[in-house]
A and B are shown apart, each in its own frame.
Chain A
């Protein structure tokens, strides 16, 4: 989260679906649950 705040993108773990702009886009679901 610190990387997202400081760099606008996380490097250590890809957490793009948690991007803060998702609230502006109205996209609150993070990722669909995948049961294989």
Chain B
């Protein structure tokens, strides 16, 4: 079991795996991911995998646009959010299996799609491991204590002792 690291990441879902992978690509040092179960066994595994632009806040839209850039190398051109308002007849033509009898209108974004959460997360975790990231399964973080210099955390594991590492940054 690794006792120290330059960065400790809690959770090996899509966020933790991706953060570990990108930190490793930057040569951030020793990176450890602590996961209480297995890779992609929590909320990411239960996600529908939908990729959508139709958020009501800026961050949601911009993160989707950036994700599509990452997921699809074919989408090199600048992306614009193409959202259309559809009449019920248009919805029936596009999705004949939908009941539209009580529908006033709908919104549709042709660039939205689907990415399998399990495949994406496990693939990113595998690439992170290739770059030296240590992913520790069955390590549930049970608490944090801020160190004297403020940037160090001590994470306690159920039955596995302690681990030291910065919560963010290196200062």
Name A's B-contacting residues (CB within 8 A). 1-6, 8, 12-15, 17-18, 20, 30-35
Closest to A16 in B: B59
A30 to B114, CA, bound (A): 25
- Which A residues are CB-close (under 8 A) to B167? 20
Residues of A within 8 A of B58 (CB): 31
Q: Tell which of A6, A14, A33, A35 has the most Cβ of chain B within 10 Å.
A: A6
Q: What is the bound-complex CA distance between A30 and B59, given in angstroms?
A: 9
How many Å lie between the Cα of A4 and that of B23 in the bound state?
10
Interchain CB contact under 8 A, A31 and B19: no
CB <8 Å contact, A2 and B26: yes
Cβ contact within 8 Å between B168 and A31: no
Question: Could you tell me which B residues sit within 8 Å of A by CB distance?
Answer: 7, 15, 18-19, 21-23, 25-26, 28, 56-59, 62-63, 66, 167-170
Within 8 Å CB of B59, what residues of A?
Answer: 13-15, 17-18, 30-31
- The answer to whether A1 and B15 have CB atoms under 8 Å apart is yes
The prevalent SS among residues of A at the interface is loop
Q: Are B168 and A12 in contact (CB under 8 A)?
A: no
- Shortest distance between the CB of B31 and any CB in chain A (Å): 10
What are 8 A-B interface contacts by the 8 Å CB criterion? Answer: A1-B15, A2-B22, A2-B26, A5-B169, A12-B66, A13-B59, A30-B57, A31-B58
B57/A5 in contact, CB under 8 A: no
Q: Which residues of A contact B18 (CB under 8 A)?
A: 1-2
Q: How far, in whole Å, are A2 and B17 apart by their CA atoms in the complex? A: 11
Query: What residues of B have a CB within 8 angstroms of the CB of A33 in the complex?
Result: 56-57
Q: Is the pair B19, A2 in contact by a Cβ cutoff of 8 Å?
A: yes
**Smallest CB separation, A10 vs chain B (Å):** 10
Determine whether the beta carbon of B28 is less than 8 Å from that of A6: yes
Kindly list chain A residues whose C-beta atoms are within 8 Å of the C-beta of B15.
1
* Chain B residue with Cβ nearest A18: B59
